[in-house]
Chain A
Amino acid sequence: MQLCDWGEKLLGEHELAAAIHPLAADSALRPSCAYIVSNPGKRFRAAVAFHAARYGERPNDPLVKDAAVAIELFHAATLAHDDVVDDDKMRRGKPAIGMHAGNLAASLAGGWLFGRSVELVAAIGDEVAARFGKVAAKVCEGEILEARDLYDSARTRERYLAAIEAKTASLIAFSAWLGATVGGAAPADAERLYGFGEAVGMAFQIADDVLDLIADPELTGKTAGSDLRQGLYTLPVIYALEGDEDLGKTLGRGPDEYELPGLVERVRDAGGIEAALRDCAAWVTRAEESLPEVDPEPEHGERLVTLAQQVIGRVGEMAPS
């Protein structure tokens, strides 16, 4: 089965690379920024923006692409900073920026990319800039909510959901809204698409968290179980903990590398993966229901529905059962 390509066809690597051209060739930041944008991943958020734009009168407006680039740049910046926190060794199949160029470079490059993304968004207009300001604050809040719960084996489902809503769903919601708005959609439709983005964003993160545990590292490009090792206890683990007291004690201590495969098995045996995937599917359904009722050309809605379904379908593709 094909790996879904999402945004790769819609937004080329070169277009992201072009976005960093204001950096002087001899700037010490250039290598790090170039490295980060050279590894842009699936460009899911860009895809959401592009497809949402189809609901408007000007779906091919060049500003749609600018918006998509800005969002992906912002996302890249947050990933660079995540890499500093996580100290993860691999990201998307290559060494993470922290490993590649050091944490300082990762931190400053992330800051620069953030600034650049803000510049691109500001060029679109006042309302967009204001809304983006709120999203950036929300994403930051999400990072903090997540960090706050590290190593907390008593982490609740509510706290997890609040963290991912802020950290992930808010940006994807914004992507949908921005694409629609810039594409000239009616405000009411743009808001509904925001809702779609939010729900699909929740599903996306849950799927991602499941994959972190069970996916084949060669396919994800990340080391398996990295969340657990860092003390990040996600939805499957939270479900598993409900039944397994001892698991809580092990996790409270901070698991060692060699313990991870065993822990993943325990999470699976306790039904954690299954339960999380059920939640994921529920969010996908909610996303589908959020789409605007009137679709100028029904294929727009279908594209977004397909996108949403691929979020959960990807899990099956990437993980040995």
Chain B
Amino acid sequence: MSSSLPVRDEAEIVVVGGGPSGSTTAAVLAEAGHDVLIVDKDCFPRPKPCGDGLLPPAVAAAERLGLGGLIEGSREIEAARVVLSHRRQSVTEFRPAAERPRPRCITRSAFDAALVEAAQLRGARLARGRVDGVEQLDGGHRLIAEEDGERFWLRAGTVVAADGATSRIRRTVVAGYAKPLAYAVRQYFVTEKPLDPVFDCYIPLEFEGMVLSGYGWVFPVDEHTANIGLGFYRDGLRSTPPLTKALRAFIEELEMKARHRFGSLQPLGSPYGSPLGIRTRIESSEVPGVYLSGDAAGTTHALTGEGIAFAMRSGNLVAEEVRVQLRRKGGRARQDGVVSRPFPQLGIDVSMLSRAWSVEMTKGAGGSAGTAPKPFLGTVKRMMGESAYETEARGTPAWEALAAHGDDLSDGLERANRALLGTLSNQFPFVSEVIHRTVRKHLGPMYAAIVLAIAGADGAPLTDPALDAGVAAESVGALPELLTMMIDRTPTKALKVNNAFAILTADFAAARALSATAKLGADAVSAFALACQQGCQGGMRDSAARFAADRSVDDWVHAARETTGSAVKFAIQLGLKLRGRDLTLSPSLERYATEAGLAIRLAEEIVDLAVDDPGGYAQTGMDLRRGTYPLVLLYAIEADRGLPTLLARQNVEDRDPDEVAVAVRECGALDRAVAECAKRSELAATLAVTEPLGGEVLSSLAVVPAGYLSSRVRCENGAP
């Protein structure tokens, strides 16, 4: 029966789905000269269940595709407002910058129609049909589709499945059924009062006595038209709440409690709901020549529900990948992580976090959870807030230092970096990512680099045990910080959640380090055990000195030896073990470990305090907030008697790192610290250079901290 159906069309590349992801892919490929056919089940323009909010990356991407006019005429958003139980609110402003336009609010109906038109302008063809499945045939593919009751085939060399959260193609190219994790529903309303140019989010979201893991929103399409909706996880609920009823309940709540803000609400059209494109991991097609993209792959953000920017970016990534593969193998390659790897903040199972958050909300919403520093959650929040998080080791100072000695070494470091980032499948959110962020910092994976410097010396091949050792060394290096992401008093559930996640992450890092080391033998394990103990002692020494303006420099040095110093030592020992050597360090290597360790810690601290990072979401001043006074600050306290008073006067949450940074700079402490770092770096470099195994590379690594400072820190005397 199937063979008798007509073949209606064929193309080099068929893109299934003309939404943001599909249109982006089609536009890029058509512009590059390929024959592209977009197949969509609807005629454009058509509505979509979505908040209609475009965050900066999506706006920028749309502008690049020529939608400047549409953007220009749309509602510009100045801030995001989170409203807690209609009582408290927290506002985040969007400050426009060169590469980061302000967000916009545009109906998907208008936006998607413009995007698909942009693709057509570049030469893509558009056809109507709902694609139900794909088969491989004669070195290409055929897709079974239907329109107005008629079924037909489409032939394609390559297929891009951008057919959304309820993707039918996904079912044929990925094993395992993915039950929808989250749902959203929205309706348009005319508001009596004019709407502020803000994204309003309302939590908690309640329905029939249950708190739902999610939030309600009111987004302003224009001054008197609101997109009102809600999104939530169905995890933890025995049955999915009916979307329309839930929305109705939210509207009623708004009418009661937010009347002052909106006035009366008149519905415009009916509610429209659907599952969200959220999975517990970003999925890749298992069939060669078929690519999953956008919501079909699960690229909607697990906590915010934001999907358009990620969909468009994944559309771009897939387009590039398709181009590369077409040049190489005629498009027969497997997708293999082209969409998943750049987005470590997506495809994470956040249901537990959502549930804990919901419970928190019912216990007295907001409360003091707002401003207290939550180191672990803070890191997570920053990480998830970035739509472009650099995960590669490439380009970090550690990587550069190795690359100067050979590609094998730097490639090895990249592989170790990837292993470190490997997640616990869908077991637990954020763990590996937070570890990675904690270790990565500014200098890059220094400890792993040290391992590889020795293991790969004189061209010795870097095998899996070497990469494992790199992971172990980095995990040990991160331990003291991970173990101190605790908060002492946890009056609210949000703070408890901080501690719960933090300790589990630390345990995971320790366990992973141990498993990696265990494969190397009992002596390596002993070395690990001692490094772990030392790291904890150093961590305790630092913690005991929190907020102590009278901390001695000696105490700092002692702690640094125990934390970064012992991590460097452990890395050296692993390197030696991999080369079959004894794990007892020569006196010069012992000294190297101390000096390099101190230099590393000094550099990271100085950067945390004194360097402006224009990356938008990077946050400096963490040390200050937590009260772990860096050496540079201790120097400053020695020089400036007024500084302790300044520090004591500001209450913890309001500590202004900029004000402190200025004081530190002015009294010459910054110069002194930078000089100290240079001194230690050089000393370590000299100690290493004559070492028989990897000495030269160890030497190069030793000067990384000083080198990094000299390029990033502007000293008071004007010297770079």
Q: Which residues of A approach B to under 8 Å, CB–CB?
A: 22-23, 27-29, 81, 84-85, 87, 102-109, 111-112, 114-116, 118-119, 121-126, 128-130, 132-134, 136-137, 139-141, 143-145, 147-154, 231, 245, 248-249, 252-254
Q: B352 to chain A: which residues have CB within 8 Å?
A: 147-152
Interchain Cβ contacts under 8 Å between A and B, 12 examples: A84-B486, A107-B503, A108-B539, A115-B531, A118-B525, A121-B525, A122-B523, A126-B522, A137-B515, A145-B427, A147-B501, A150-B356
A87 with B518, Cβ < 8 A, contacts A152-B235, A154-B235, A154-B237 known? no
A84 to B500, CA, bound (A): 7
B496 CB-CB contact with A under 8 Å: yes
Contact of B521 with A126 in the complex, beta carbons under 8 Å: yes
Who on chain B is nearest to A120 by CB? B529
A84 to chain B minimum Cβ distance, whole angstroms, is 5
By a beta-carbon cutoff of 8 Å, the part of chain B in contact with chain A is 209-211, 235-238, 349, 351-352, 355-356, 358-359, 362-363, 424, 427-428, 431, 479, 483-484, 486-488, 490, 493, 496, 499-504, 506-508, 510-512, 514-515, 517-519, 521-523, 525-526, 528-533, 535-537, 539-541, 543-544
B421 to chain A, nearest CB (A): 17
Told that A140-B504, A150-B500, A253-B209 touch, could you supply 8 new A-B pairs with CB distance under 8 A?
A28-B544, A105-B540, A107-B483, A122-B523, A123-B526, A129-B518, A139-B511, A148-B428
Q: Is the CB of A140 within 8 A of B519?
A: no
Q: How far is the CA of A289 from the CA of B362 in the complex (A)?
A: 48
- Contact partner, B541, options A28, A111, A153, A231, Cβ 8 Å: A28
Q: Which residues of A contact B351 (CB under 8 A)?
A: 148, 152
Given A29-B540, A130-B519, A249-B209, verify A148-B349 contact (CB < 8 Å). yes
Q: Tell me the nearest residue of chain A to B428, going by C-beta.
A: A144
Q: Which residues of B contact A140 (CB under 8 A)?
A: 504, 507-508, 510-511
Q: Complex Cα distance A231/B360, Å?
A: 12
**In the complex where A84-B486, A133-B514, A148-B428 touch, is A28 in contact with B508 (Cβ < 8 A)?**
no
Most B CB contacts (10 A, CB to CB) among A22, A27, A147 go to A147
Q: Is the CB of A116 within 8 A of B544?
A: no
Q: In the complex, what distance in Å separates the CA atom of A64 from the CA atom of B531?
A: 25
Whether the Cβ atoms of B532 and A111 lie closer than 8 Å is: yes
The answer on a CB contact under 8 Å between B427 and A141 is yes
Given contacts A107-B483, A108-B484, A108-B540, A152 and B236 within 8 Å (CB-CB): yes
Please, which residues of chain B bring their CB within 8 A of the CB of A141? 424, 427, 511
Give the total number of A-B pairs whose CB atoms are below 8 A apart. 195
- Alpha-carbon separation in the docked complex, A141 to B356 (Å): 20
Nearest CB of chain A from residue B22's CB, rounded to whole Å: 34
Known contacts A126-B522, A129-B525, A144-B431; A103 and B356 CB within 8 A of each other: no
Asked whether B515 lies within 8 Å of A134 as measured between CB atoms, the reply is yes
Give every chain A residue within 8 A of B543 (Cβ-Cβ): 28, 104-105, 108
Chain A, Cβ-Cβ closest to B546: A104
Instruction: Name the CB-closest residue of B to A27.
Output: B537
Measured between C-beta atoms, what is the minimum distance from A122 to chain B in Å? 4
A81 to B508, CA, bound (A): 12
Contact B517 A133 (CB under 8 A): yes
- Min C-beta distance of A242 to chain B, whole Å: 11
Chain A: CB-nearest residue to B526: A122
Which of B363, B507, B519 makes the CB contact (< 8 A) with A254?
A: B363
| Contact residue among A112, A129, A136, A139 (Cβ-Cβ distance under 8 Å from B521) | A129
Q: Are A114 and B488 in contact (CB under 8 A)?
A: no
Collect the chain A residues with CB atoms within 8 Å of residue B506's CB: 107, 111
B101 to chain A minimum Cβ distance, whole angstroms, is 38
**Residue with the greatest number of chain B CB neighbours at <10 A, chosen from A87, A149, A245:** A87
- B512 CB contacts on chain A under 8 angstroms: 137
Q: CA separation between A248 and B235, bound complex, in Å?
A: 13
A105 to B486, CA, bound (A): 9
- Taking a contact as CB atoms under 8 Å apart, the answer to whether B424 and A144 are in contact is yes
Chain B residues, CB < 8 A from A81? 503, 507
Given A111-B506, A112-B537, A253-B211, is A118 in contact with B528 using a C-beta cutoff of 8 Å? Answer: yes
In contact, A130 and B355 (Cβ under 8 angstroms): no
Query: What's the Cα separation between A144 and B523 when bound, in Å?
Result: 29
Kindly state the separation between the CA atoms of A136 and B511 in the bound complex, as whole angstroms: 6
- Give the distance to chain A from B482, nearest Cβ to Cβ, in Å: 9
> A115-B536, A151-B355 in contact; A104/B514 too (CB < 8 A)?
no
For the complex, what is the distance from the CA of A75 to the CA of B370, rounded to whole Å?
Answer: 35
Contact across chains for B536 and A111 when beta carbons are under 8 A apart: yes
- Is A27 touching B540 in the complex (CB atoms < 8 A)? yes
Q: What is the minimal beta-carbon distance from A147 to any residue of chain B, in angstroms?
A: 6
Of A28, A104, A109, the contact of B484 (CB 8 Å cutoff): A104
In whole angstroms, how far apart are the Cα atoms of A109 and B533 in the complex? 9
Are the C-beta atoms of A231 and B356 separated by less than 8 Å?
yes
Instruction: List A contacts of B499 (CB < 8 A).
Output: 84-85, 87, 103
Task: Assess whether B526 is in contact with A104, with CB atoms less than 8 Å apart.
Answer: no
A243 to B503 CA separation, bound complex (whole angstroms): 35
CB nearest to A139 among chain B residues: B511
User: Within the assembled complex, what's the spacing in Å between the Cα atoms of A248 and B428?
Assistant: 23
A151 touches B428 (CB 8 A): no
Complex partner residue of B483 from A108, A119, A128, CB under 8 angstroms: A108
B532 touches A118 (CB 8 A): yes
In the complex, chain A residues whose CB is within 8 Å of the CB of B523? 122
CA distance A118 to B534 in the complex (A): 13
B530 pairs with A103, CB closer than 8 A: no
* Alpha-carbon separation in the docked complex, A134 to B479 (Å): 19
A240 to chain B, nearest CB (A): 14
Q: Is the CB of B486 within 8 A of A103?
A: yes
Q: Chain A residues with Cβ under 8 A from B526's Cβ?
A: 119, 122-123
Are B539 and A147 in contact, CB atoms less than 8 angstroms apart? Answer: no
Of B238, B356, B511, B528, which one neighbours A154 at CB under 8 angstroms?
Answer: B238
Expressed in whole angstroms, the minimum distance between the Cβ of A83 and any Cβ of chain B is: 10
Say yes or no: A254-B486 contact (C-beta < 8 A), given A137-B512, A140-B511: no
Residues in B whose Cβ lies below 8 Å from that of A150: 352, 355-356, 500
Residue of A with least CB distance to B212: A252
Partner of A111, one of B356, B424, B490, B510: B510
Who on chain A is nearest to B534 by CB?
A115
Instruction: Say yes or no: A85 contacts B511, CB within 8 Å.
Output: no
Nearest Cβ in chain A — how far from B525, in angstroms?
Answer: 4
Closest residue on chain B to residue A150 by CB atoms: B352
B518 and A130: CB pair below 8 A? yes
Q: What residues on B are CB-neighbors of A154 within 8 Å?
A: 235-238
Could you tell me the distance between the alpha carbons of A119 and B210 in the complex, rounded to whole angstroms?
A: 49
- Checking B349, B431, B508, B522 against A125 with a beta-carbon cut-off of 8 angstroms, the contacting residue is B522
